[in-house]
């Protein structure tokens, strides 16, 4: 199986790249800064060419297009939109909103996956599985009844609507578009208070992703495989 992962230098994306690579899959691991991606570069170096590292900033259309040109003609069975940013709660409350950060988060987490889907659709269509899986967050759900960071949660909510739109638009071409809440994971984003170890969360997410079928098109799933409330 051939997969592309955005934001693969650390956190969940790194663990997914490592675990898909260890399983012998072909991994296009993308990062903003390949020269600084030391752990990922080590995974690539010991993969016998199965894992390769590519530059892509999902917030920059030219960068996404350049990466797509580099990978033109390569089938991608699972396109994994993983890259995300969390600017911290202090600057995204009702009383204190950093509007520039809000626009930045929307660009990375909603527009970013959209432009990645646009640029890599030919690769997805050339594959057997034709799957697009996008990491969203439980905080985007109207059913989530805790304090939210408004920029992050609204960017992910926008992302959810974009992906459900694509699920409708692309289903006749045999594409499966699925949203995944990966759990609360002890990465740089969520910090040490979170629930799940990155390797365990990645193992669950990987299992979920490789089990996706057209019946999952348009669904929002938890890392456990259960449906997520909207």
Query: Does residue 17 touch ligand NAP according to CB under 6 A?
Result: no
CB of 128 to ligand NAP, least distance (A): 25
The tokens describing 167, both together, are 């699920």
Query: Does residue 57 touch ligand NAP according to CB under 6 A?
Result: yes
Query: Does residue 149 touch ligand NAP according to CB under 6 A?
Result: no
CB of 213 to ligand NAP, least distance (A): 22
> Which of these segments, 28-36, 93-101, 117-125, 214-222, binds ligand NAP (CB under 6 A)?
28-36
CB of 149 to ligand NAP, least distance (A): 11
**Could you identify the residue written with the tokens 């409350």?**
93
CB of 83 to ligand NAP, least distance (A): 3
Q: Which of 117, 190, 202, 209 binds ligand NAP (CB under 6 A)?
A: 190
CB of 191 to ligand NAP, least distance (A): 9
Mind spelling out the 3-state secondary structure of the chain? CEEEECCCCCHHHHHHHHHHHHCCCEEEEEECCHHHCHHHHHHHHCCCCCEEEEECCCCCHHHHHHHHHHCCCCCCCEEEECCCCCCCHHHECCCCECHHHHHHHHHHHHHHHHHHHHHHHHHHHCCCCCEEEEECCHHHCCCCCCCCCHHHHHHHHHHHHHHHHHHHHHHHHCCEEEEEECCCECCCCCCCCCCECHHHHHHHHHHHHHCCCHHHCCCEEECCCCECCC
Q: Which of 116, 135, 157, 177 binds ligand NAP (CB under 6 A)?
A: 135
> Which of these segments, 68-76, 140-148, 177-185, 218-226, binds ligand NAP (CB under 6 A)?
177-185
CB of 183 to ligand NAP, least distance (A): 6
Give the interface with ligand NAP as residue ranges (CB under 6 A): 6-7, 9-13, 31-33, 57-59, 82-85, 108, 135, 137, 181-182, 184-185, 187-190, 194
């Amino acid at each position: 199986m051939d997969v592309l992962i955005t934001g693969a230098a650390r956190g969940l994306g790194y663990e997914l790249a490592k675990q898909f690579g260890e399983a012998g899959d072909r991994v296009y691991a993308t990062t903003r800064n390949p020269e600084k991606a030391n752990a990922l570069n080590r995974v690539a170096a010991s993969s016998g060419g199965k894992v390769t590292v590519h530059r892509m900033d999902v917030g920059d259309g030219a960068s996404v297009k350049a990466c797509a040109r580099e990978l033109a003609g390569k089938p991608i069975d699972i396109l994994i939109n993983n890259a995300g940013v969390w600017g911290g709660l202090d600057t995204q409350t009702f009383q204190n909103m950093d509007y520039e950060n809000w626009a930045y988060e929307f660009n990375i987490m909603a527009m970013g996956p959209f432009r990645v889907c646009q640029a890599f659709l030919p690769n997805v269509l050339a594959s057997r599985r034709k799957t697009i899986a996008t990491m969203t967050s439980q905080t985007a759900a109207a059913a989530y009844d805790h304090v939210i960071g408004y920029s992050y949660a609204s960017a992910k909510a926008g992302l959810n609507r974009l992906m459900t739109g694509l699920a409708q638009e692309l289903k006749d071409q045999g594409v499966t578009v699925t949203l995944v809440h990966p759990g609360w994971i002890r990465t740089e984003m969520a910090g040490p208070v979170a629930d799940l170890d990155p390797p365990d969360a990645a193992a669950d997410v990987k299992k979920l992703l490789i089990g996706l079928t057209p019946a999952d098109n348009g669904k929002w799933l938890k890392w456990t495989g259960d449906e997520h409330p909207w």
